[in-house]
Amino acid sequence: MLEKTIRSKILRYLNSLPQSDFVVSPPGTQTGESDIKGCIAGRYICVEVKVPGKKPRPSQRYRLNKLRKAGALVIVASSVDEVKGAIALERYGEIHSVASFALRGKP
């Protein structure tokens, strides 16, 4: 599946959640910028979308780590299920579905 297809599905899911607002970063934005960013009930969340088996570039990892240290929930995902799992882990402290990895942190 193409990254843009995965991104579209994740965006649709995130915007279906109550008290949420997410957008896709436009092409040509700052190097390392997350693919999807927004809020759920006041919590800033950014999602870097990757096809299965791919990892963020060094510039993306740098930016994601800065956001994580600032209090954002940072998710690197290749499916909607991974995003669901990372959000469930953040909200409830347990995984309710499969999540590959999320860079979590609170200041």
pLDDT in tens, 45-98: 999 999 999 999 898 999 999 999 999 999 999 999 999 989 888 877 654 433
100 or 20, greater pLDDT = 20
Is pLDDT of 14 > 60? Answer: yes
What per-residue confidence (pLDDT) applies to 93?
63
Q: CB burial class (10 A; 0-12, 13-18, 19+) of residue 23?
A: exposed
pTM value is 0.81
Note the pLDDT of residue 91: 77
Residue 13 confidence (pLDDT): 97
- CA–CA distance from 25 to each of 3, 22, 47, 98 (Å)? 13, 10, 10, 25
